[in-house]
Amino acid sequence: MCSALSLTCRAPSVHNCQPWRWLLAERSLQLFLDLSRLPEELDPAGRAQVISCGAALNYVRVAFAALGWRALVHRLPNPAQPGHLASIQFSPRDHVSPEMVALAGVAGQRRTARCSFRAEPVPPELLTALRAAAETEHGVLVRAAEHRSLLVDALRRAGQYRETPEYQKAIADLDDPEPAVPVLTDEAVLAVLATRGDRVDSWLAVGEALSAVLLAAAREGLVTCPLNQLGEVAEERERVRAAVLGGAGHPQLVLRLGWPASDEPLPMMPRRVLADSMELLPPRR
């Protein structure tokens, strides 16, 4: 189980904070939110960190499926303990899905691409497949083709919040903080990843959807960069909700999607070792 769980160290997270904590028993796993990983000023409601934990949860499901285990996930199992995000029970599968093996392979190699992308269109059928990947995890992926200029403007305005002295002070001690304003001048596809609700269960679900989209994209050779700026500025988030989503649903993240500009491998961001985020529970007597 530890070998499968080690793959979650590669899951994407806001500011690379990796805010998850695992409690591992013989055939069960508990996922908790670790709010100590990010200054409160950067994510007061914990929304971005719950999304990050959702991505790690999807990584867990993929990793165990690739090793022949079925994961039964009970999300938000303890209302009295809101930081307890998931309880997972495992049972053997009759066979291993080649698709899960392939996804687990790309999960270990996927990187966030903060650089410019190659000016080459992403085929419509690939975008359709990515939308389907999001929908399997109860997310909605909407390409912002007609509203690209509005979305770019909203991201730039939201990025200004990250340039304030207060924000810069809060990220000063982070190992790998995200840039204030991402690359927005290339030909990357911009898509909004949204949910129907806007509570903890929706945040967890959209994290799982984010991971599903990123892994499906990486399997096809695409590079991606999740952007959380909108979630930090309510006015800009509402602008995008009205224009791109027609007022239906809640934008949680923006994704940049495209083809790598170079054959050079993307840099690997620093990661916690598994022992820092996992506790092994003693067997019951």
Q: Is residue 190 part of a domain?
A: yes
CB 251 within 8 A of CB 192: yes
Question: What does pTM read for this prediction?
Answer: 0.96
Q: How many CB atoms lie within 10 A of CB 192?
A: 25
- Among candidate residues 53, 44, 15, the one with its CA nearest the CA of residue 277: 53
Whether residues 10 and 46 fall in one domain: yes
Q: Is residue 265 part of a domain?
A: no
Whether residues 151 and 22 fall in one domain: no
Q: Is residue 81 part of a domain?
A: yes
Q: Give the span between the Cα atoms of 107 and 176, in whole angstroms.
A: 20
Q: Give the span between the Cα atoms of 32 and 143, in whole angstroms.
A: 32
Whether residues 90 and 171 fall in one domain: no
Whether residues 169 and 221 fall in one domain: yes
- Bridge partners (DSSP) of residue 225 are 256
Whether residues 248 and 128 fall in one domain: yes
Number of domains in the chain: 2
pLDDT for 27 equals: 79
User: Residue 122 has what DSSP assignment?
Assistant: P
Q: Give the span between the Cα atoms of 217 and 237, in whole angstroms.
A: 25
Q: In the chain, what is the straight-line distance between the N-terminal and C-terminal CA atoms, in Å?
A: 20
Q: Give the span between the Cα atoms of 26 and 7, in whole angstroms.
A: 18
Q: Is residue 285 part of a domain?
A: no
Whether residues 7 and 70 fall in one domain: yes
Q: Is residue 15 part of a domain?
A: yes
Q: Which positions ≥6 away from 231 have C-beta within 8 Å? A: 47, 48, 237, 251, 252, 253
User: Residue 250 has what DSSP assignment?
Assistant: E
Q: How many CB atoms lie within 10 A of CB 73?
A: 17
Model confidence over 111-123: pLDDT tens digits? 999 999 999 999 9
Whether residues 103 and 221 fall in one domain: no
pLDDT for 175 equals: 84
**Residue 221 is part of which domain span?**
117-260
Q: How many CB atoms lie within 10 A of CB 156?
A: 15
Per-position DSSP letters for 49-106, written without gaps between them: HHHHHHHHHHHHHHHHHHTTEEEEEEES--TT-TTEEEEEEEEE-SS--HHHHHHHHH
Phi, psi (degrees; rounded to nearest 5) at 216: -65, -40
Whether residues 192 and 74 fall in one domain: no
Whether residues 102 and 196 fall in one domain: no
CB 219 within 8 A of CB 103: yes
Whether residues 77 and 156 fall in one domain: no
Q: Is residue 14 part of a domain?
A: yes
Q: How far is CA 100 from CA 26, 50, 61, 75, in A?
A: 23, 24, 9, 21
Model confidence over 174-227: pLDDT tens digits? 988 999 888 999 999 999 999 999 999 999 999 999 999 999 999 999 999 999
Q: Is residue 168 part of a domain?
A: yes
Element (H, E) at 238: helix 234-244
Question: Residues of the chain whose pLDDT is less than 70?
Answer: 284-285
pLDDT for 264 equals: 85
Q: How far is CA 176 from CA 13, 124, 159, 207, in A?
A: 11, 33, 17, 20
Amino acid at 229: Q
pLDDT for 284 equals: 66
Q: Is residue 95 part of a domain?
A: yes
